[in-house]
Structure 1
């Protein structure tokens, strides 16, 4: 039996949009792993403008578990906005976002959680990335990672891997991105401020059958997002960030 960690605590943010078929099972799996490893934890469910029963199911989950609560967005706000909402409401020392579609399965969480305390940032990367993504999405993901590493002289394996951060550090930075780029923005700003990072290889479980990543409109959006991200990080004043947060 895994030893419960009584010295550290974590807030998990789980946004979902129209995931009525899977969200209950996904949250149940996350709770099981958390209960096996943490004495103090919370799950903040974000119903991000769903038009199906996702919100009602989330309410039922929260009614049945004292460490789960729900926030309902009338309109879809995006992952970045859900993440910022979680930062504002989090009660505990560490914070992590997990998508309500199960892209990072609960079975991959133990090695991530076990590494908490070894660095300011615990950054998971998908060891099976090439297998779980379509060729177009794989090329885009590797290109995005390579560009950020080149521009900011870093050696991160995967920027969209749902990292664990110290909540106190997250509250010292401004996050401008509301969509997928928020993770790259957060990671790069905190690394620039001198935060330590440990990278953990895990298995991903992502459904890629509906990918349209290389459509012209999406490429233009990614390009715009990347330029905005670069501008945000160029303007970022890392001297204002204190990495000496309470242990």
Structure 2
């Protein structure tokens, strides 16, 4: 018998930020839709086109017109992954919310880990078990250094901070987030753990190769923004 404090996710919103992902968006969304249908009784996909300069906007609208339960937001200016997540969060209608990158690196099959029972008002934090196999050696090392630095800096103990974390929607709706880049995921975690006192349940998953394009995570601007962002978050949390 399940404890009364434990819950099972029945309805979920998935936000898909997409910036110049014309080569991977359609495949990702179709696979995501099929996975959601098989696992949850109620769901929605929110594609956030982040002012893309390629055909991402056209593909997103075609997917919305082709399938039900798919919504599209078009940012008039580039807001980065964090700003796009926040825009998507404004319109979610389900009890739980997560995200997937449009490049397909985090596969929709990760959702299978979200069907387990877990404590009410806790956060599900997936962590990859194959980073060194699926990512470049340099990116895997930098990611490991980042994780260790964050754990020490904020006195937490998480195997991963930038994955497709699952939150009770009402937890994030009450938040006031400043990050507009990759650090949005860390900020949401810190807010949930330190301010809202949520428990964390960590679950493993396997990364996949990007469907197309190059990762933007290791650009000089992103690394600089992350360093500055960590200083800001340390003052806040």
* Shorter-chain TM band: 0.7 to 0.9
What corresponds to 1:31 in structure 2?
Answer: 33
What TM-score do the two structures reach when normalised by structure 2? 0.88
Distance 1:40 1:7 in 2: 10
Decide which of 199, 202, 206 is 2:205's aligned counterpart.
Answer: 202
| 1:97-112 pair list within 5 angstroms | 97-111=99-113
Which residue is equivalent to 1:146? 148
Cα offset for 1:173? 1.6
Query: Please, which runs of 5 or more residues in structure 2 have no aligned partner?
Result: 1-6
Partner residue in 1 for 2:139: 137
Q: Who is 1:75 aligned against?
A: 77
Change (3 A) 1:232 1:52: same
The alignment of Structure 1 onto Structure 2 pairs a total of residues equal to: 228
Report the Cα distance in structure 1 between the residues aligned to 2:45 and 2:223, rounded to whole angstroms: 34
- In the TM superposition, what whole-angstrom CA distance separates every residue of 1:130-169 from its partner, at most 9, and x where no partner exists? 2222222222211211122112221100001120101100
Q: CA deviation at 1:222?
A: 2.8
| Matched residue, 2:190 | 188
2:16 corresponds to: 14
Query: Could you tell me how far apart the structure 2 residues matched to 1:118 and 1:18 are?
Result: 37
Q: What 5-or-longer segments of structure 1 have no aligned partner? A: 234-247
> 1:115 corresponds to which residue?
116
Q: How many Å separate the matches in 2 of 1:225 and 1:94?
A: 26
* Pairwise CA RMSD: 2.3
In the alignment, is the contact (CA less than 8 A) between 2:21 and 2:213 conserved in 1? no
Describe the SS at the equivalent of 2:90: helix
Return the offset for 1:96. 0.5
Aligned to 1:228: 232
- Checking the alignment, whether the CA contact within 8 Å between 2:9 and 2:96 is kept in structure 1 is no
- Compared CA separation, residues 101 and 212, structure 1 to 2 (3 A): closer
Output the TM-score relative to the length of structure 1.
Answer: 0.85
